[in-house]
Homo-oligomer: A and B are copies of this chain.
Amino acid sequence: MSPTIRDVAKKANVGIATVSRVINNNTSVSAETRNAVLTAIEELDYTPNPIARQLSTGRTLTIGVIVPNLTSPSYVERLRGVQTALAESEYHMVLYSVGNPVDRDNYFKELSRNGLVDGILIISLPPNDAQAERFAQSDVPTVLIDAYHEQLCSVLTDDVKGGEMATQHLIDLGHTKIGFLSETLETPFHPSSYYRYQGYRKALTENNIPFDETYRISGASGRMHAREMARQLLAMQIPPSAIFAGNDIQAIGILDTARELQIEVPSELSVIGFDGIRDAEYTNLTTIDQHLHESGEEGVKMLLQELESLSDSPAQKRLALKLVQRNTTRPLIG
């Protein structure tokens, strides 16, 4: 077995407390003793057992990240941001990947309870009131990324406003027949698509453009399903001249279909996405950039702050949205 602090103490002819002081750079050790201890450590190739240290200090130096299965690039990008910010800290990251509501609830309960982690970061998984209450009561600080609850710290996106911005952009370009294509609006997870839809409706209303139910389509997530839905939208007698997609992946699916149908983008069809994933840049997609990477970093910052000193009122940070115009939207001709 690996050597323990007692082995070091014996070898250096000192007490274990002294060894501990040396390890932790406690000043009150004479240079002589310190050297003796250091050489003993060297000779035994000793490293302190982190678990024992965790038990006695009460800190695990670990933060738990609860995230939906890495099915969507946006989760991955947020996670990258988390990773980036965490790398500069002394904390490690345990990944809890949730595939269904049961997983989610289990992780929520498990982590908020006992001292497995020092802090919790939750990505795109809004807790219900009871769960939020638990987190708030628990003594492990929790930060939500891309989700909101009044009781908890959060880094969030104004999806309604983003939806409005996207739609307004299309309207500004002269479009009035504007389609909306998204994931199912009723999801057990984060209803961001629904909020974006609300923004879409709001923009229409504000510009006195009547909402046409037939221009709205939603279904399963993913590029393939988006293609299919786009086919349906574009096969209408009077198809939309522009489509706002609930996220970038779906927007890219629409572009796929447009190419397949030889509908030229943006001259014959404008498409705008939402998220600002990397593929949006590669495909020259106009989109609403919600600063995914930054959201991860900000979440970590907030959590680290919370770990320093638990604030009383939960901090809330809203990330700015940015319309990034590329080559999939342009003024309507005629």
Contact = CB atoms under 8 A, between A and B. Distances in A.
Interface of A: 2, 47-52, 54-55, 60, 62, 69-70, 76, 79-80, 83, 87, 92-97, 99, 103, 113-116, 223-224, 256, 282
Contacts of A76: 70, 76
Contacts of A79: 70
Given A50-B115, A83-B97, 14 more contacts: A2-B114, A48-B114, A49-B55, A50-B114, A50-B116, A51-B55, A51-B116, A55-B55, A69-B80, A83-B95, A87-B99, A93-B95, A94-B94, A95-B95
Given A69-B80, A94-B62, A47 B256 contact: no
B114 A47 contact: yes
Contacts of A55: 49, 51-52, 54-55
A47 B282 contact: no
Contact of A69 (B69, B83, B92): B83
A47 B110 CA distance: 10
Q: Top 10 A-B pairs ranked by shortest CB distance?
A: A83-B97, A51-B54, A51-B55, A95-B95, A47-B114, A50-B116, A55-B55, A94-B94, A223-B282, A93-B95
A80 B67 CA distance: 12
B51 A70 contact: no
Contacts of A80: 69-70
Contact of A93 (B50, B94, B224): B94
21 contacts: A2-B113, A2-B114, A2-B115, A49-B115, A51-B51, A51-B54, A51-B115, A52-B55, A54-B55, A69-B83, A70-B80, A87-B97, A87-B99, A92-B94, A92-B96, A93-B94, A93-B95, A94-B94, A94-B95, A223-B282, A256-B282
Among A62, A70, A95, A224: residue with most chain B CB under 10 A: A95
Contacts of A93: 94-95
Given A47-B113, A47-B114, A83 B62 contact: no
A325 B156 CA distance: 43
Nearest to A281: B224
A1 B116 CA distance: 14
A226 B181 CA distance: 31
Contacts of A99: 87
A94 B96 CA distance: 9
A226 to B, nearest CB: 10
Nearest to A114: B47
Contacts of A51: 51, 54-55, 60, 115-116
Contact of A49 (B103, B114, B223): B114
A97 B55 CA distance: 26
A218 B176 CA distance: 47
